[in-house]
């Protein structure tokens, strides 16, 4: 049966993905094999596939497919994260479109809508990953709010509480006025913002004197409870112990002293607003200042502000500034740039806010998580991320784990009518706990807040195998610790560190051995890809246009670990061209007729070379994988197939036009083709599976598929054979180059003479004649006058062109080349004559320069001889 002229990716992708699924190739259950486990970083249930997901999941699929082919029990666990803030925002927006205000319905009604939304839209990204070829064990798909995973989260909260790690208290937190919830420090994105700096006059009581204070937030002056000056600042020493009046509302506030104030910064005076600034709060605690919170949870001014009640904070800023100007209490206004925190989820400007929250103590929990990375038990790839990981872990702050939301795992704390509280799994257990403490059991109600999403995903490598609730279960003990985690550097602390912390606390083991940190996908201008910039292509459309294998190759060709990808669609085009190259090579082989004869000596020599070259490439590829250089592993595979297999080996053994090929040689070609398909399969699963089942290879038994073919293993190889053939390739390439530079048709056969002193060219004679189109190949022991000469390795070769060239033009070309080489030689000699360079440079660098000198001198000698031979 003939093979289609062009590869149809869409047809192959639909056919083989269904086939793999139906035959259970992705399924994993514990057995006697070595396990290889990856847990997918669960994308948000609100998410759709973007370029970052494409990269991350392609890398995971390459690793899992290779492990499966190596005979390991490969288990890739997929799933999604409930993403409290993002999902709640989506559901609130959906309800708003239906004319329903969240405040008007009960928690139970809201959660009913949320679950309906999740069931309808929550699995989109996982279906899209199937299009990518992701060979996950879909039967194991998990969701962070599945009943068993939620129970594990609640159990962990209770465990940490009993161990003394979790506490409740009023602390200054990052408040998201749009999401109306607290955030951890890691969920705040710092951005440089253009602002105004307002210099405001505060009148000293019973005086015409005033002090000027600079602030970017005039809307908070109504929450001021002191003015602070440095006790050593002589400009203001006469004001110590006095009081000032807050502009616009004339409330009296004390003037206090503290060395915290920098005399050189601004005016040297600081307005202290304990409710709306972390540093001011700590200063207020120290000096026992009143705390006046003038902002409601939605960022509007409340009654304590006395003026502009109900106004949004940013509108209030402009109005207060105008009122101050009208009252003559503004000295000046300057443009000012400063860092402002924004919510990672809603992009709202963060408000520092005093709030009663639940916290997790991190100092003791973090120590083992740092030790694992320091002693190499867990490897961060690339290592450059260790410094920032170490800094974060050594300076870790307590983690605010409560969120003022309804979507998520509800904190298992219970309150009575006196607002006393206990931690318990159920209401019945809470009642019993209150009774045991001799406290009221009236009006029992559960905490409204839910846990931070990262608290649940921190358990992910354990909870997907039910290792939190049932640590002795067989699956958990077989698959855990997992092998490789592939994720983005920006969640190294959000997620990776917390998985290590929780994994150690439960098991005294790390949750994984290697953390492969991908780069950010950027456009060719270096900008991060985003919908708002309009510079991010739709991954699904890319796969439709270039084929999934083409896009996978394109992504990986440009993705060294930890370094950002400068992605361009041309990489996908290169990937598609690679797929077409393999397809066309297969069509070529399949079109050969056979004759029942043994292979020729030249064909056997070519096979010996390619086998050694293949084994050398496998060793290189294995080393790249061992060091997580997946981009390099792909490039080595690419060059082996495109250059060595297609451009050289197949050309060496290809029969003459319409002539048959020896049966023995075709069988060898088929064997090699199977090997290169197996090597390419992790990167290009669909194309390789399609060709694997072609009739060229005969009838396949059930289960004989590329997805479970034996991955090539490193075999010994003879470097001498490979180096010898590199010289042969050089001979062929040089002859082709001579034709090209001199405008001689490729069809014109040329004579070639070789002065062979190092390599036995006779065993490659047929190959050279065939691929270089040589009329006659002779071996000489002296120079051939009147011929163009070149060096191949250390052997001199001569091509007599006679009437095929323009002698004058050739003389001019050679003269220019000699001049260039003499200039190059002079620069090398200058470097070697520099004693400081020779003494201080590494011996191998000096030797390299000496080799350059010898090579240039040899080439000049040959060119001068060629010039003399031309008269």
Strand, coil or helix: 693: coil
Instruction: Tell me the chain's radius of gyration from C-alpha atoms.
Output: 36
Q: Specify whether the backbone of 535 is left (phi greater than 0), alpha (psi in -120 to 50) or beta.
A: alpha
Picking from 315, 288, 312, the residue whose alpha carbon sits closest to that of residue 300 is: 312
Contacts of 251 (CB under 8 A, 6+ apart): 222, 245
Question: Within 10 Å of residue 828's Cβ, how many Cβ atoms?
Answer: 19
- Displacement of CA 829 from its chain's centroid (Å): 46
653 backbone dihedrals φ, ψ, rounded to 5°: -100, -10
Rounded distance, CA 434 to CA 438, Å? 6
- Displacement of CA 616 from its chain's centroid (Å): 29
CB 707 within 8 A of CB 69: yes
Rounded distance, CA 549 to CA 554, Å? 8
* Cβ-count burial 616-629 (b if 16+ within 10 Å, e if not): bbbbbbbebbeebb
Picking from 303, 284, 285, the residue whose alpha carbon sits closest to that of residue 293 is: 303
Residue identified by tokens 């003022």 is 404
Beta strands 750-755; 774-779: pairing state: parallel
The upper half-sphere exposure of residue 457, i.e. CA atoms within 13 Å in the direction of its Cβ, equals 25
Picking from 183, 210, 207, the residue whose alpha carbon sits closest to that of residue 348 is: 183
Picking from 584, 586, 770, the residue whose alpha carbon sits closest to that of residue 672 is: 586
Element (H, E) at 201: strand 188-204
**Is 747 labelled as part of a ligand binding site?**
no
Element (H, E) at 204: strand 188-204
CB 422 within 8 A of CB 162: no
CB 183 within 8 A of CB 494: no
Q: Specify whether the backbone of 571 is left (phi greater than 0), alpha (psi in -120 to 50) or beta.
A: alpha
769 to 120, 600, 727: CA distances (angstroms): 67, 15, 15
CB 89 within 8 A of CB 179: yes
CB 672 within 8 A of CB 646: no
Residue stretches of the annotated binding site for ATP: 531
Binding residues: 531
């Amino acid at each position: 049966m003939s093979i289609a002229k062009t590869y149809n990716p869409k047809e192959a992708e639909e056919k083989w993905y269904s086939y793999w699924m139906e035959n259970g190739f992705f399924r994993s259950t514990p057995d006697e094999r070595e396990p290889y486990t990856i847990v997918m970083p669960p994308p948000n249930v609100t998410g759709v596939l973007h370029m970052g997901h494409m990269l991350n999941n392609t890398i995971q699929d390459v690793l899992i497919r290779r492990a499966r082919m190596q005979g390991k029990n490969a288990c890739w666990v997929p799933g999604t994260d409930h993403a409290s803030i993002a999902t709640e925002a989506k559901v609130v927006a959906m309800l708003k479109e239906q004319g329903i205000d969240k405040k008007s319905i009960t928690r139970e009604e809201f959660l009913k809508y949320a679950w309906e939304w999740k069931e309808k839209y929550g699995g989109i990204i996982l279906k899209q990953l199937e299009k990518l070829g992701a060979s996950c064990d879909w039967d194991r798909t998990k969701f962070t709010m599945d009943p068993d995973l939620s129970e594990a989260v609640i159990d962990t909260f209770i465990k940490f509480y009993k161990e003394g790690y979790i506490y409740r208290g009023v602390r200054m937190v990052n408040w998201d006025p749009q999401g109306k919830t607290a955030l951890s420090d890691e969920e705040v994105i710092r951005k440089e913002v253009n602002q105004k700096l307002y210099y405001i006059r505060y009148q000293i009581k019973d005086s015409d004197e005033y002090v000027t204070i600079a602030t970017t937030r005039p809307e908070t002056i109504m929450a001021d409870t002191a003015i602070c000056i440095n006790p050593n600042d002589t400009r203001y020493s006469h004001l110590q112990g006095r009081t000032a009046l807050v502009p616009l509302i004339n409330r009296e506030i004390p003037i206090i002293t503290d060395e915290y104030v920098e005399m050189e910064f601004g005016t040297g005076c600081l307005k202290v607003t304990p409710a709306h600034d972390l540093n001011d709060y700590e200063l207020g605690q120290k000096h026992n200042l009143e705390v006046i919170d003038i902002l409601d949870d939605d960022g509007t001014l409340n009654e304590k502000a006395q003026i502009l009640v109900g106004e949004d904070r940013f509108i209030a800023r402009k109005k207060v500034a105008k009122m101050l100007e009208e009252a003559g209490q503004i000295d000046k206004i300057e443009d000012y740039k400063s860092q402002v925190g924004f919510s990672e989820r809603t992009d709202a400007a963060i408000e520092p806010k005093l709030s009663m929250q639940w916290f997790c103590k991190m100092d003791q929990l973090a120590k083992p998580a740092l030790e694992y990375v320091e002693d190499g038990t867990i490897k961060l790839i690339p290592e450059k991320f260790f410094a920032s990981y170490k800094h974060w872990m050594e300076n870790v702050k307590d983690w605010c784990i409560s969120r003022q939301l309804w979507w998520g795992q509800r904190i298992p704390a219970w309150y009575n009518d006196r607002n006393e509280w206990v931690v318990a799994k159920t209401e019945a257990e809470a009642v019993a706990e209150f009774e045991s403490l001799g406290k009221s059991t009236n009006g029992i109600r559960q905490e409204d807040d839910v846990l931070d999403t990262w608290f649940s995903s921190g358990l992910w490598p354990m909870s997907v195998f039910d290792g939190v609730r049932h640590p002795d279960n067989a699956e958990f003990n077989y698959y855990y610790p997992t092998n490789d985690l592939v994720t983005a550097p920006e969640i190294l602390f959000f997620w990776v560190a917390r998985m290590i912390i929780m994994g150690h606390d439960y098991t005294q083991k790390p949750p994984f051995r290697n953390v492969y940190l991908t780069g950010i996908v950027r456009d060719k201008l270096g900008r991060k890809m985003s919908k708002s910039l309009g510079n991010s292509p739709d991954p699904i459309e890319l796969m439709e246009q270039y084929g999934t294998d083409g896009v996978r190759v394109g992504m990986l060709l440009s993705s060294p670990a930890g370094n950002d990808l400068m992605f361009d669609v041309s990489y996908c085009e290169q990937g598609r061209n690679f797929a077409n190259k393999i397809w066309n090579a297969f069509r070529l082989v399949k079109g050969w007729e056979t004759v029942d004869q043994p292979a020729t000596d030249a064909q056997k020599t070519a096979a010996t070379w390619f086998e050694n070259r293949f084994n050398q490439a496998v060793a290189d590829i294995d080393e790249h994988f061992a060091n997580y250089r997946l981009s390099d592993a792909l490039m080595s595979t690419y060059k082996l197939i495109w250059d060595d297999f297609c451009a050289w080996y197949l050309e060496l053994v290809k029969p003459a036009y319409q002539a048959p090929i020896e049966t023995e040689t075709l069988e060898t070609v088929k064997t090699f083709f199977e090997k290169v398909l197996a090597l390419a399969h992790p990167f290009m699963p669909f194309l390789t599976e399609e060709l694997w089942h072609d009739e060229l290879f005969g009838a396949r038994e059930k289960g004989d598929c590329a997805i479970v073919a034996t991955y090539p293993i490193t075999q010994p190889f003879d470097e001498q054979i490979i180096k010898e053939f590199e010289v042969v390739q050089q001979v062929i390439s040089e002859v082709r180059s001579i034709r090209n530079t001199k405008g001689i048709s490729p069809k014109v056969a040329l004579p070639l003479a070789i002065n062979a002193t190092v390599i036995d060219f006779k065993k490659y004679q047929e190959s050279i004649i065939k691929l270089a189109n040589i009329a006659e190949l002779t071996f000489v022991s002296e120079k051939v006058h009147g011929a163009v000469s070149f060096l191949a390795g250390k052997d001199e070769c001569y091509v007599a062109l006679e009437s095929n060239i323009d002698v004058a033009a050739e003389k001019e070309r050679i003269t220019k080349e000699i001049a260039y080489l003499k200039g190059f030689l002079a620069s090398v000699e200058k470097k070697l004559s520099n004693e400081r360079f020779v003494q201080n440079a590494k011996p191998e660098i000096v030797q390299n320069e000496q080799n350059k000198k010898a090579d240039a001198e040899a080439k000049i000698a040959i060119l001068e001889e060629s010039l003399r031979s031309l008269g």
